[in-house]
């Protein structure tokens, strides 16, 4: 597999370099040089495959000869050893529940695959990499669990103080060992800027072997394409084409879907579901992309004012706005609308959503209404409702049962280092012996 920088299509690297470097030195992001179309035989047999079989076939097509096939097979079997249920709310509306992994969030797909891919390449390396992660919620806990006690890897997680849910904070701050949490005085965008600045700091990178586990790392992005094929496989007998609504913050999740579409996935439209952080929605309305400070909402993992993966979307479509709008539409909803949707869906369908899934549900139903014809739509459920008890329980006026795997984290002591929103302090921390 060869990859290029979004800033320089001629600057090619292999998968291993892109994995450990995280970002190119030119401040771009890595993109596959080629995205292959899957053969007819794959689509004919897709509804007969297990999730790991399907992930292996897709992964092998993308990664090529970069990973030994037997090692890739083991990676997908170990990384995706949990259910991925498709739940019907009505004959035309489904939700794909991506939160049945160990941290109850869709980020488990990327983090668990990436941890195993790094371990595969580390067998031939002597240096000890340090993974930097900025999180607005679930990325931090997924990466912490995915890399917990992985030999030869340190993980430093930056999260915005007071802007993640209590359960999310407990999951990413209670592990210890090779996992360090930094509680930053600022927003997710501030955390992300600190991480990006560290990657562009040549002197720092010469002293610490830095890499990233955010969706800016291509190894996080690749496995996020896998579950879109699974979604289609489950509905293949019912329809020829789907629409899919994706809760969109840093746009790594929808980027995974667009890669799947480029490989032949028959999704007629992807819906970017935004909360009040609507830079992408406004771009599709005006053709002018204007990053702005993030706004705090109850769907906090989507509180991103300057989504990193926007440049990957531009690279994928080569700046062709018309081609992009043929594939993608965007909607935006506020907290009040999100809260109403959670209550409405529970009442109508006896199904409990959390805020991010609720935004995606709203976008899907709005699009299908505007479409004006019969279609089948799927919205992604990206986190378990229990991760947002402070929002969900008061809305529905009832308790949500806490899964046993979360109770240990909730009863553990928080281990986090306070960090000002200042690069000098952050750099000094990373350089401490």
Instruction: Say how far apart CA 348 and CA 381 lie, in whole Å.
Output: 18
Kindly list the domain boundaries of the chain, sorted by start residue.
Answer: 83-104+221-396
Instruction: Say how far apart CA 223 and CA 221 lie, in whole Å.
Output: 6
Partners of 182 in the β-ladder = 158, 417
Q: Tell me if 210 sits within 8 A of 199, measured CB to CB.
A: yes
3-state secondary structure at position 36: coil
Angle at 60 between CA 57 and CA 62, to 5 degrees: 110
Residue 97's φ and ψ, nearest 5 degrees, are -85, 110
Instruction: Map tokens 């297990």 to a residue.
Output: 50
Residue 221's φ and ψ, nearest 5 degrees, are -75, -40
pLDDT, one tens digit for every residue, the chain (433 residues): 999 999 999 989 999 999 988 888 888 999 999 999 999 999 999 999 999 999 999 999 999 999 999 999 999 999 999 999 999 999 999 999 999 998 899 989 998 999 899 889 988 777 788 999 898 767 788 888 888 888 888 999 999 999 888 888 888 898 888 999 999 999 988 998 999 899 889 889 888 888 877 778 899 899 999 999 999 999 998 887 799 999 999 899 999 999 999 999 999 999 999 999 999 999 999 999 999 998 999 998 899 999 999 999 999 999 899 999 999 999 999 999 999 999 999 999 999 999 999 999 999 999 999 987 778 999 999 999 998 998 999 999 999 988 887 887 788 889 999 999 999 999 999 998 7
Instruction: Say how far apart CA 54 and CA 12 lie, in whole Å.
Output: 28
**CATH architecture, range 83-104+221-396:** 3-Layer(aba) Sandwich (3.40)
pTM: 0.88
């Amino acid at each position: 597999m060869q990859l290029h920088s979004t800033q320089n299509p001629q600057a090619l690297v292999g998968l291993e370099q892109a994995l450990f470097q995280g970002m190119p030195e030119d401040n771009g992001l890595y993109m596959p040089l080629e995205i292959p179309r899957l053969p007819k035989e794959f689509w004919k047999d897709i509804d007969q495959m297990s999730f790991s079989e399907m992930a292996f076939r897709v992964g092998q097509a993308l990664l090529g000869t970069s990973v030994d096939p037997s090692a890739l097979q083991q990676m997908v079997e170990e990384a995706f050893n949990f259910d991925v249920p498709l739940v019907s709310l009505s004959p035309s509306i489904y939700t794909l529940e991506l939160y049945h992994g160990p941290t109850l969030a869709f980020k488990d797909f990327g983090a668990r695959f990436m941890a195993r891919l790094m371990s595969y390449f580390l067998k031939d390396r002597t240096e000890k990499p340090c993974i930097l992660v900025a999180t607005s919620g679930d990325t931090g806990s997924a990466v912490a669990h995915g890399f917990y006690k992985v030999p030869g890897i340190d993980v430093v997680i930056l999260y915005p103080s007071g802007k993640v849910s209590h359960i999310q904070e407990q999951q990413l701050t209670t592990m210890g060992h090779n996992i360090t949490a930094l509680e930053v005085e600022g927003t997710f965008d501030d955390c992300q800027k600190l991480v990006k600045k560290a990657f562009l700091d040549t002197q720092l990178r010469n002293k610490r072997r830095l890499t990233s586990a955010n969706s800016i790392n291509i190894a996080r992005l690749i496995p996020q394409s896998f579950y879109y094929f699974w979604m289609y496989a489950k509905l293949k007998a019912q329809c020829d084409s789907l629409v899919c609504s994706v809760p969109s913050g840093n746009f790594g999740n929808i980027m995974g879907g667009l890669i799947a579409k480029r490989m032949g996935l028959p999704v007629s439209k992807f819906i970017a579901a935004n909360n009040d952080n609507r830079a992408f929605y406004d771009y599709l309305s005006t053709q002018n992309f204007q990053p702005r400070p993030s706004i705090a909402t109850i769907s906090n993992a989507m509180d991103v004012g300057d989504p990193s993966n926007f440049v990957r979307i531009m690279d994928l479509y080569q700046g062709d706005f018309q081609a992009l709008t043929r594939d993608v539409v965007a909607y935006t909803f506020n907290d009040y609308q999100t809260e109403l949707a959670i209550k409405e869906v529970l009442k109508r369908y006896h199904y409990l959503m959390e805020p991010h899934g609720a935004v995606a549900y709203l976008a899907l139903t709005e699009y299908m209404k505007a479409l004006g014809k019969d279609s089948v739509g799927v919205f992604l459920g990206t986190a378990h409702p229990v991760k947002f008890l402070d929002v969900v329980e008061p809305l529905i006026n009832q308790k949500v049962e806490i899964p046993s795997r979360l109770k240990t984290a909730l009863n553990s002591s928080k281990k986090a280092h306070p960090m000002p929103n200042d690069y000098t302090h952050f750099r000094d921390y990373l350089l401490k012996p």
